[in-house]
Amino acid sequence: MSWKIVNIIVALIYLSIRAVIAQDIEFTGSAKQEVAIGESFSLIYSVNAQGLNFKGPNLSNFSIISGPNSSTSSNIRMINGRTSMTVSNSYTFILQAVKEGSFTIPAAAISVNNKVFHSNPISIKVVKGSTYGQNPSSPQRNNTGGGSSQNQGGAVQMGSNDVYLKALVSEANPIQGEGIIVTYKLFTKVPIQQITINKISSFPGFWSQNLSKENEKFNQYNQTIDGQPYVVADIRKIVLFPLKSGRLVIDPLEVECIAQLKKQSRQRSGDPFFDDFFNDPFFNNSVASVEKNLKSNPVVINVRPLPGNDKPADFSGAVGSFTFRTEVDKTHLKTNDPINLKCVVSGEGNIQLVDKMNVGFPPDFDAYDPKVSSDIKTTSSGITGSQTFEYLVVPRKPGKFKIKPISFSYFDLNRKKYITLTSPEYVFDVEKGTGESQTVTYSGQGKEEIKYIGSDIRFIKNQSIRLTKIGVYYFGSLVFYLSLLIPVLLFMTLIIIWRKQTEKRSDLLLMKNRKATKVARKRLKKAQNSLKANREQEFYEEISQAVWGYLSDKFSIPLSELSMDSVSQALSSRNVNEEITRQFIETLNNTEFARFAPGEKSIIMDKIYNEALDVITKSERELR
């Protein structure tokens, strides 16, 4: 019997696919012909087939609130033994008219069966006569509350000052090389989610370092501005070091987010008691998601030049507050013995721009490029750390040699003057060596330039040599034929596995049935987390979706056909145990009534969770 059902389903799918391919493809666009400035309206593109690679039109004359939002519907009909199937895809934009005039929206494009179809162009006339967010045909209402407006349908629109992005700098007139911090703050009076940075600011003329850690939660706090309460979030913080003086401009940061706007729908039944009760905001609030593109203000920085007088000759641009120290590993040695000289600069400022030291070595010393290592720490107030320069020096002749004091100069921001720090003078007593070079360990740059004095004999290679017999060839051997056969077998195996997986995935009812328990347990896991966090509303939503979704997927019952009355009949028709059917009904009823039931909420929520988990577990055991 089961094989007959499978054959019937396969035949239906085959006939449906043929019917879809055979039908004429229609791709059309539709929208209102006349709208008012500030009015929101829908632009809908529909295609009567399964389309791919939808490309929307140029909508530069309108503000895009959301979209494209896609949806798909299908319908299968069997009349007199003939099966037909219709598939419809739609792509919806929510637009807002921003300026007066007549505009033509060009055609959109979509691909169906590897062929590109274009829609009709749409002409829209934008006229005056309606305020932002109101229907032109309805009487206008007074706007209330923080710059927001409300139309007759009850949708609360976003005001210009409800959400905005602002760039703030710690110092607008720094001196060249002085670090300044730019903080991008998001100010909002409405709930915000899914904050995405679309365009990062560019910093021409600056050396920059990001102070915000990746995947770190935004720092949030409350602030009152012009008598209005705002939630402020620091979404990005950058430290900048100007590399030149003059007027420098920081480009805006562009951010995209989704605002959660509350809306209310008030209806009148004629009964004052019911009108006052059910139009209460507790029962009648809902939320609309609106996409919002934000751009920060450009920032102008006027950089002052460094003082020209008293500037040290070895000054290389270091600005901040630093310390300087040097050390050597030995002063008594023999010729060809290496010396390690270390110079360390540490402190706060543009330390990463310190890239060299002015060291004078004796002419009888071979000196190599230094190994530079950094230990940099970023904090909310700036950059601190150290730069270390390690030099490898090899004396070639005996005698007494000196390395003159090494100097490091920087401009001190606190004292407003140049500071020069110097190291002690190092005297080296070099004796004549044996003529053989010592072992030199060096990890810096230019290591290939180190010379080994008196070593004209190199190491003998002692690795084993691989030998092969004469007359033995890879071509025609067993390994040769296996290397040809194995890829073919692997390819055929992958094709078989791929076809079986494709057949399984094409059976939507089977896939839903198999994943029903997994999906339900994920929902129950989320409900358990909400239970622990005492989030009552989220808990009941997850419990309800877990039980209803399990019934729909496991027993192949569309959600539209499920209700308290139909659940019992649907389960009984599938020979489900009466006890489990009764427990399903009780769990659904208890979930609905528990939200408003008196008593300890945590105890009631825990009881509902255990009931849902128990009934799904029992159902799984019986259906195995």
Q: What are phi and psi of 217, to 5 degrees?
A: -65, 145
Q: Does residue 572 contact residue 581 with C-beta atoms inside 8 Å?
A: yes
pLDDT tens track for 116-142 = 888 899 999 988 753 333 333 333 333
Give the number of residues written for the chain. 624
pLDDT in tens, 280-338: 544 445 567 788 888 899 999 999 999 988 888 888 889 999 999 999 999 899 988 89
Helix/strand/coil (H/E/C) assignment for every residue in 536-558 = HHHHHHHHHHHHHHHHHHHCCCC
Question: What is the rounded CA–CA span in Å between residue 155 and residue 573?
Answer: 44
In CATH, which of 2.60.40, 1.10.10, 2.160.20, 3.30.200 is domain 319-449?
2.60.40
Which helix (H) or strand (E) is 359 found in, with range? none
The whole-number pLDDT of residue 184 equals 92
Contact call for residues 411 and 417 (beta carbons, < 8 A): yes
Contact 260, 192 (CB under 8 A): yes
Better pLDDT: 236 or 519: 236
For the domain made up of 508-623, give the CATH fold: Four Helix Bundle (Hemerythrin (Met), subunit A) (1.20.120)
Of all residues in the chain, the percent with pLDDT exceeding 90 is 16
pLDDT at 344 over 90: yes
For the chain, the structural domain boundaries read 2-127, 163-267+281-303, 319-449, 508-623
**354 in Cβ contact with 377 (< 8 Å):** no
> What's the pLDDT at 93?
84
Q: Which CATH number applies to 2-127?
A: 2.60.40.10
Q: Tell me what pLDDT residue 32 has.
A: 86
Q: Are 576 and 622 in contact (CB under 8 A)?
A: yes
User: Mean per-residue pLDDT for 429-440?
Assistant: 68
The answer to whether domain 2-127 and domain 319-449 are alike in fold is yes
Matching residue, tokens 């750390």: 385
> 68, 78, 79, 83: which is closest to 19 by C-alpha?
83
Percent above pLDDT 70 for the chain: 73
Instruction: Report the helix count and the strand count for the chain, using DSSP H and E.
Output: 9, 30
Fill in the DSSP letter of residue 391: E
Amino acid, res. 525: K
How far is residue 472's CA from residue 597's CA, in Å, rounded to a whole number?
87
Average of per-residue pLDDT values in the chain = 76
Q: Given a cut of 80, is residue 430 above it in pLDDT?
A: yes
Least confident of 33-37, 186-190, 511-515: 511-515
What is the rounded distance in angstroms from the CA atom of residue 428 to the CA atom of residue 400?
A: 6
Closest of 91, 89, 74 to residue 25, by C-alpha: 89
Cα separations in angstroms, 567 against 498, 516, 540, 550: 37, 17, 19, 12
- Confidence class for position 366, pLDDT limits 50, 70, 90: confident
**Residue 170 host element (H or E):** none
Residue of 208, 212, 206, 204 lying closest to 186 (CA atoms): 212
